[in-house]
Amino acid sequence: MGRRAFITGVTGQDGSYLAELLLAKGYEVHGLIRRSSTFNTSRIDHLYRDAHDEGTKLFLHYGDLSDGSRLVTLLDRIQPQEVYNLAAQSHVRVSFDEPEYTGDSTGLGAIRLLEAIRMVGLHCKYYQASSSEMFGATPPPQNEQTVFWPRSPYGAAKVYAYWVTRNYREGYGMFAVNGILFNHESPRRGETFVTRKITRAAARIAAGEQDELYMGNLDAVRDWGYAPEYVEAMWRMLQHDEPTDYVVATGTRFTVRDFLATSFERVGLDWEKYVKFDERYLRPTEVDALIGDASKARDVLGWTPKVHAPDLARLMVDADVAALNHVGSPWIDTPVWG
Ligand code: NAP
Ligand code: G4F
């Protein structure tokens, strides 16, 4: 029998790349999508075929991480061997505005899904999308032993989800793992995360469609990697014999200012002429520096990143320029798995 996976958050950046990866490996993929009054499937439309077509391998199901009984029904019906929990209110700044909702979806959502697996009696492998944001104020380099010190409702919710994942592993013998992923980006990144906000603005300013760009803290240090490479690490974690937690990162230090300079240079512009400060983009508590040590993922899973921050910025700018010109971009249109 073929392998079957269930992905929550399939309409997001990572969910779309993971669905591509699993389909290319021959999986039957079931994705959870939220009902909305407008279509929210643009990142996976190229993968979708009508369920009546022969050979269809991608199936979408309405549901929500706030609805535990729906998760039970779906898991019982689908019987997946692998479950990837990627769904979350994933924006750190927004989590200060919507702390309760973030706790419910990003934190409690994980235990609803774990408990649904347990109630159905599924013997599946479970992946939890944990985050470097859990390290918060603990200085870099951060690895699997680093103490958590979350600095946002989002970070705190992810810490809860991390610990319940470990608890279900230790308490019920479940194959449940945390991938502690550092920031990872792509042309499919949401437009309000800092990298995509910058690359989109660089393309638009160069095309004369935007005059200026309002930003918050430019001193923040991040370790930015390329999302398609990171979903490969998720899959590898579930193929390993032992359930254990992994940091996934490039180990490269880059500031928001560096990302601005590299992106604007790609379109021949000096960023300092266009960028203005707006305190609305500051957070009540900031995470100053995240730089990951992914030695364990390299040694145990054989995973190494190829794309580092400067190339990432350039490929994202190129994709945004191509999108403005209504031409295809190899970074958007070509399935990365060949
Ligand atoms: P994203 O683009 O924001 O996608 C989030 C996904 O979750 C979307 O499909 C969204 O659906 C879905 N979702 C949100 N609330 C939901 C709910 N209550 N019930 C069901 N689905 C819900 O995030 P991403 O960048 O792909 O990240 C994937 C996961 O990894 C997230 O859990 C994120 O917190 C975590 N993570 C991300 C990074 C990173 O740098 N990207 C790093 C570490 C961890 P809609 O499309 O309907 O909104
Ligand atoms: O792109 P960001 O919003 O990502 P952040 O907060 O690091 O969170 C992302 O990575 C986490 C992994 O560490 C994920 F778990 C999480 O789901 C998300 O994907 O902001 C990056 C940095 C911050 O320090 C922020 O203060 O950029 C700074 N920044 C400066 N100006 C800005 C802006 N961020 C945004 N979004 N918008 C600005 O105008």
Domains of the chain from N-terminus onward: 4-324 (3.40.50.720)
pLDDT of residue 182: 98
Angle between helices 309-324 and 256-266 (to 10 degrees): 50
Smallest-distance ligand from the CA of 109: 1
pLDDT in tens, the chain (338 residues): 689 999 999 999 999 999 999 999 999 999 999 999 999 999 999 998 887 888 899 999 999 999 999 999 999 999 999 999 999 999 999 999 999 999 999 999 999 999 999 999 999 999 999 999 999 999 999 999 999 999 999 999 999 999 999 999 999 999 999 999 999 999 999 999 999 999 999 999 999 999 999 999 999 999 999 999 999 999 999 999 999 999 999 999 999 999 999 999 999 999 999 999 999 999 999 999 999 999 999 999 999 999 999 999 999 999 999 999 987 655 554 443 32
pLDDT of residue 326: 83
Distance from C-alpha of 37 to C-alpha of 14, rounded to nearest angstrom: 23
C-alpha distances in Å from residue 3, one per residue of 23, 59, 79, 81, 239? 10, 14, 10, 7, 12
- Residues forming the active site: 131, 133, 154
Distance from C-alpha of 147 to C-alpha of 273, rounded to nearest angstrom: 40
What are the backbone angles phi and psi of residue 120, rounded to the nearest 5°?
A: -75, -20
pLDDT of residue 207: 97
Alpha helices, H only, 279-337: 295-296, 309-324, 330-333
Distance from C-alpha of 81 to C-alpha of 103, rounded to nearest angstrom: 27
Would the CB of 146 count as within 6 Å of ligand 1? no
Angle at 59 between CA 53 and CA 61, to 5 degrees: 135
Q: Are 285 and 216 in contact (CB under 8 A)?
A: no
Protein residue whose Cα sits closest to atom 47 of ligand 1: 34
Task: Give per-residue burial for 281-298: e unless 16+ CB within 10 Å, then b.
Answer: eeeeebbebbbbbbebbe
Protein residue whose Cα sits closest to atom 28 of ligand 2: 217
Nearest to 185 by CA among 64, 95, 319, 82: 319
Q: Are 7 and 15 in contact (CB under 8 A)?
A: yes
Protein residue whose Cα sits closest to atom 5 of ligand 2: 92
Q: Are 275 and 212 in contact (CB under 8 A)?
A: yes
Nearest to 317 by CA among 171, 178, 125, 189: 189
The amino acid at residue 238 is L
pLDDT of residue 335: 40
Judge residue 26's burial from the number of C-beta atoms within 10 Å of its C-beta, 0-12 exposed, 13-18 middle, 19 or more buried.
exposed
Angle between helices 153-172 and 109-120 (to 10 degrees): 20
pLDDT of residue 1: 65
Return the H-helix or E-strand segment holding 171. helix 153-172
Smallest-distance ligand from the CA of 112: 1
Q: Which atom of ligand 1 is nearest to the CA of 91?
A: 3
